[in-house]
Each structure stands twice: as structure tokens, then as C-alpha cells.
């Protein structure tokens, strides 16, 4: 069975559908509920008199989701990278890492704007704690013929050791088609990764995740979503251990 446009429904309707389907999967139910913060108002998100939220953690790794809601670039509204916001929140819950995520579209794009409160705040928090690594979450269209594209400014923003760690972790969880700087190298001016690398010099990389691993409106993607959560959870713990030595 396929549930189309499930992520545009209200929290109340999602809860009701969950009960009808007798959901017994805590992770998927949690992701559907968390996505309600971003999917409200047709993915323009909720106006909290700010554009983003920050979740403080214990592990000095930070997950970023600047495209959790729609964004505006060059005067055009662009679609969100669905479930990247809820994925960031789930990883923060499970690993106690830090997280920053866009909650309201406003009139800009946190992964493009040169003047950007999202990135300014992120730099401030990285320096304050201090944080050791940034993982910036984005989404590939599900029609792309590969699963993961890791943007590292063409190899500049992470070490070879971290690159190998990423490859090994994804392979262990049977996610095999992982490419580096293939279509999205994060090297454009204004990207989160480029900005953070240039201003803080901490290891930073962009993860473009295929919609097959994110789009929970399709039941067929539920196992893949769990797979990506487990993979990134393991990666966060390993990065923390590696960067603490």
C-alpha cells in the first residue's frame, strides 16, 4: 500500500492514520510526528518569530537541516528536502548530538544567502561549545541513479580518514552507491559547508540523501529510512571518537 502526500497532513490526521494502520514502529511514527513541524502550511513551516531552531546536545557533532522547509532563492520558491528536519531531530534524540534546522521559509535560503542568520548562529555555537564536526543534510530526488552524494568542497573540508570512515560506515549498513562531490560538492558561495569550513575550519560535509531513503509517504521507504538513521547514528559516534583522539 502507498500513502501519497502523507507529510502534508496535520498531526492529528497522521496520528489517526497511524492508529488505523496499527503502527508498531516507534521510529517511523516519531518521524511522521516530527515532520509535522516542517510540513505545516504546505511546508512553509511555522513562524516562531524566527527562521530556525537550535537543539543543544552533549556529543560535539552538529547536524544541520537548512532545507527542512521550502526556501526562496532568486525570488523563486523551491521545494523542501522532506524529512531532513525530522531526521536531524531523530539523530539528536538518539545520539545527543547538536542540531540546527530551518522551521520557517521566510524570504531566503540558508544554504545560499550571503547574509544569513542561520549560518551566523551556527558559527557562534560551533565556537561556543566548541563543536568538532558538521553534517549538513540535504535531499536528492528519488529518480537519481545513486543513493548518497557527499559534498566536501572537492576533498578540502574533511580528511582522508573521515572520508574512509564515511565509506566504511555506509558499506557496513549495505548502502553502497555513495559518491563524493559527484553532483553537489557544496563549493558554491553561501553553502553551509563552505561557510562553516572557511570560518571555523572544523571538518564539514554535505550529505545529499536520495528520496528513497527519506520519503515516508511511501511505506516502501520505511525500512530504508531506518537504515539511514542507523547508519548516521553509527557515523556520528565514530566521528566523535575519531575527532576526540
- Looking at every residue in the chain, the average pLDDT score rounds to 91
152 class by beta-carbon count within 10 Å (0-12 exposed, 13-18 middle, 19+ buried): buried
Any idea what DSSP says for residue 107? T
| pLDDT tens profile 161-210 | 999 999 999 999 999 999 999 999 999 999 999 999 999 999 999 999 99
User: How high is the pLDDT of residue 29?
Assistant: 86
Which residues fall within 8 angstroms of residue 194, CB to CB, at 6 or more apart? 153, 157, 186, 187, 188
- The CATH class for the domain spanning 6-244 reads alpha beta
User: How high is the pLDDT of residue 142?
Assistant: 94
Share of the chain above pLDDT 70, in %: 90
Q: Rounded mean pLDDT of 201-225? A: 94
Q: Produce one character per residue of 190-228: b if its CB has 16 or more CB atoms within 10 Å, e if not.
A: bbbbbbbbeebebbbbbbbbbbbbbbbbbeebbebbebb
Amino acid at each position: 500500500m502507498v500513502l501519497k502526500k502523507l507529510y502534508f497532513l496535520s498531526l492529528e490526521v497522521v496520528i489517526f492514520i497511524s492508529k488505523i494502520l496499527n503502527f508498531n514502529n516507534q521510529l517511523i511514527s516519531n518521524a511522521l510526528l516530527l515532520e509535522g513541524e516542517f510540513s505545516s502550511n504546505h511546508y512553509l513551516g511555522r513562524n516562531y518569530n524566527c527562521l530556525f531552531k537550535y537543539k543543544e546536545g552533549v556529543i560535539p557533532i552538529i547536524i544541520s537541516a537548512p532545507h527542512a522547509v521550502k526556501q526562496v532563492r532568486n525570488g523563486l520558491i523551491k521545494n523542501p528536502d522532506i524529512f531532513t528536519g525530522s531526521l536531524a531531530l531523530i539523530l539528536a534524540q538518539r545520539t545527543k548530538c547538536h542540531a540546527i534546522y530551518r522551521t520557517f521559509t521566510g524570504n531566503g535560503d540558508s544554504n545560499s544567502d550571503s547574509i544569513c542568520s542561520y549560518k551566523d548562529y551556527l558559527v557562534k555555537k560551533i565556537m561556543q561549545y566548541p563543536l568538532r564536526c558538521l553534517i549538513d543534510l540535504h535531499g536528492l530526488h528519488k529518480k537519481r541513479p545513486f543513493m548518497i552524494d557527499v559534498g566536501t568542497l572537492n576533498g578540502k573540508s574533511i580528511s582522508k580518514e573521515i572520508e574512509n570512515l564515511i565509506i566504511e560506515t555506509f558499506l557496513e549498513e549495505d548502502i553502497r552507491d555513495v559518491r563524493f562531490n559527484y553532483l553537489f560538492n557544496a563549493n558554491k558561495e553561501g553553502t553551509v559547508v563552505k561557510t562553516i569550513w572557511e570560518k571555523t575550519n572544523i571538518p564539514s560535509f554535505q550529505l545529499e540523501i536520495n528520496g528513497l531513503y527519506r520519503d515516508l509517504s511511501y511505506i516502501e521507504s520505511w525500512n530504508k529510512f531506518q537504515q539511514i538513521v542507523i547508519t548516521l547514528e553509527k557515523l556520528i559516534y565514530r566521528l566523535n571518537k575519531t575527532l576526540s583522539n
